[in-house]
């Protein structure tokens, strides 16, 4: 059985307000230790994945995130 092709992720920015999002993300981590911060990131990833919902898009996001910087 062949796997379906990965979704094509948009290359153009999709942000409505990137600066505000980044500030909210940093505020959410304020005062947390390393373990608590990692847990927040894990929970946030699951919440965002739930919102995206499409396995092909999620697989493409994971593949993109694994690319060297």
pLDDT tens track for 6-65: 788 888 888 899 999 999 999 999 999 999 999 999 999 999 999 999 999 999 999 999
In-domain check, residue 12: no
In-domain check, residue 59: yes
In contact, 58 and 49? CB cutoff 8 Å: yes
In-domain check, residue 5: no
* pLDDT greater than 70 at residue 3: no
Closest Cα to residue 61, out of 7, 16, 22, 5? 7
In-domain check, residue 17: no
Neighbours of 67 (CB within 10 A): 6
In-domain check, residue 35: yes
Q: Can you give the residue range of the structural domain that contains 54? A: 28-65
Question: How many CA atoms lie within 13 Å of 42's alpha carbon, on the beta-carbon side?
Answer: 6
Closest Cα to residue 9, out of 65, 69, 68? 65
């Amino acid at each position: 059985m062949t796997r379906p092709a990965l979704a094509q992720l948009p290359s153009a920015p999709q942000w409505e307000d990137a600066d505000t999002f980044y500030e909210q993300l940093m505020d959410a981590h304020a005062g947390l230790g390393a373990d608590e911060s990692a847990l927040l990131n894990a929970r946030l990833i699951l919440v965002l994945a739930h919102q995206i919902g499409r396995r092909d898009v999620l697989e493409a996001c994971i593949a993109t995130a694994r690319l060297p910087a």
